[in-house]
């Protein structure tokens, strides 16, 4: 093994270790405690972690070992398992990431339009059906890889596990359906949902700034629990003055109202800080998703016109990088990136 191959193998091994730690952490931290039930977010994160762990253990690990060995030595039987597991886990991971983005789109954007009403994807039965459908779709697209594989190579030191379809037409037909239904459509949906999340976050930020800095001489109306509040600002006052009209409050409620209106930014925030933080993590994942899977998609398409082992290798590295990055982004987004063992 030369230096270049050794470096590639070490990078692949590091990605495998990072993926196993991150996805195991995400799965463990998403298991509900005794005091709380299973939520939609938990179910989606657990499913994503399981999908990625299949990639880590059944795809990345044998691929890493084969890299260190310098050739495929696990035989044709495991070659079928290897190719089957690769597409099964990748397809499931793509759909689950799309479902997570759709859930947080409903949570942040759709819920605001309906005044905080419950979102459809808060229904665990519905989410479980969607996940079952995604696994079925992944299974249908993965089964051909279990049969149409071969360990190809001119000699023992150059053997590699590759897909071998009966003819070129069948391979291209399969790739067209797979790349369209299991890659392009979820990618388009995720980008649409993430784009609207970004737009909502920007609009909220602009709204907060406008509340913090009201124009001079202009009245800004607030409403809190049936009471109208006029924030009057003028050149002579030098600062905003709160005028409460309507029913007066006393005691703790008055203190709460005073706190809310002394901090208009907090009063105007749609949703909790945890929701906004989680939504930002979804946008970050969407950015990584776009870079990884759009590149992966283009490489798979180009491979239809010019078959290259290098293209297949690069595509596999991209898929591995995605599975080892996104669990940490989600862990940070839901504030579970801690080492506490208390449940």
CB 343 within 8 Å of CB 29: no
- Residue 95, pLDDT > 50, answer yes
Which residues of the chain are in CATH 1.20.1070.10 domains?
3-208+270-333
Token pair for 80: 């079928």
Higher pLDDT, 44 or 215: 44
Tens of pLDDT, residue by residue over 252-308, are: 334 433 333 333 333 334 445 666 777 777 788 778 877 777 776 777 677 666 666
- Residue 243, pLDDT > 50, answer no
CB 212 within 8 Å of CB 265: yes
Non-local (6+) Cβ contacts of 316 within 8 A are 59, 63, 86
The fraction of the chain above a pLDDT of 90, given in percent, is 16
CB 3 within 8 Å of CB 51: no
pLDDT score at 332: 82
- Per the prediction, the chain carries an average pLDDT of 74
Closest CA to 102 of 127, 125, 124: 127
- Residue 251, pLDDT > 60, answer no
Higher pLDDT, 233 or 302: 302
Q: What single-letter DSSP state applies at residue 334?
A: T
pTM: 0.74
Which sign does the torsion angle of CA 96, 98, 100, 103 carry? negative
3-208+270-333: CATH topology: Rhopdopsin 7-helix transmembrane proteins (1.20.1070)
pLDDT score at 178: 87
Token pair for 260: 């809310």
pLDDT score at 237: 39
Place of tokens 């954007």: 109
Neighbours of 16 (CB within 10 A): 22
């Amino acid at each position: 093994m030369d230096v270049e191959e050794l470096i590639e193998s070490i990078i692949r091994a590091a990605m495998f270790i990072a993926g196993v730690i991150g996805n195991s952490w995400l799965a463990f931290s998403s298991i509900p405690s005794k005091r709380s039930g299973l939520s939609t977010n938990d179910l989606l994160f657990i499913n994503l972690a399981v999908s990625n762990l299949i990639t880590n253990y059944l795809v990345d690990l044998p691929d890493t070992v084969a890299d260190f060995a310098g050739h495929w030595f696990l035989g044709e039987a495991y070659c079928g398992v290897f190719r089957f597991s690769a597409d099964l886990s990748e397809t499931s991971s793509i759909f689950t990431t799309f479902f997570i983005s759709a859930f947080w789109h409903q949570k942040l954007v759709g819920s605001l339009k309906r005044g905080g009403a419950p979102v459809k994807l808060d229904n665990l039965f519905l989410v479980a059906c969607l996940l079952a459908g995604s696994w079925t779709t992944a299974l249908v697209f993965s089964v051909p890889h279990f049969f149409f594989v071969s360990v190809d190579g001119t000699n023992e030191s150059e053997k590699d596990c590759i897909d071998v379809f009966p003819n070129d037409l069948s391979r291209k037909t399969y790739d067209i359906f797979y790349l369209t239904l299991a890659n392009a459509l979820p990618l388009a949906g995720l980008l649409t949902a993430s784009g609207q999340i970004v737009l909502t976050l920007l609009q909220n930020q602009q709204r907060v700034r406008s509340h913090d800095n009201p124009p001079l001489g202009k009245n800004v109306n607030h409403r809190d629990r049936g009471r109208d509040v006029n924030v009057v600002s003028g050149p002579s006052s030098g600062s905003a003055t709160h005028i409460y009209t309507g029913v007066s409050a006393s005691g703790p409620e008055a203190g709460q109202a005073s706190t809310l209106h002394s901090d208009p930014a907090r009063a105007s925030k749609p949703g909790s800080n945890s929701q906004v933080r989680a939504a930002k993590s979804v946008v970050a994942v969407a950015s990584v998703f776009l870079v990884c899977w759009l590149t992966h998609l283009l490489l798979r398409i180009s491979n239809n016109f010019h078959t290259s082992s290098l293209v297949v290798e690069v595509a596999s590295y991209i898929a591995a990088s995605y599975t080892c990055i996104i669990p940490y982004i989600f862990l940070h987004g839901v504030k579970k990136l801690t080492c506490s063992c208390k449940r």
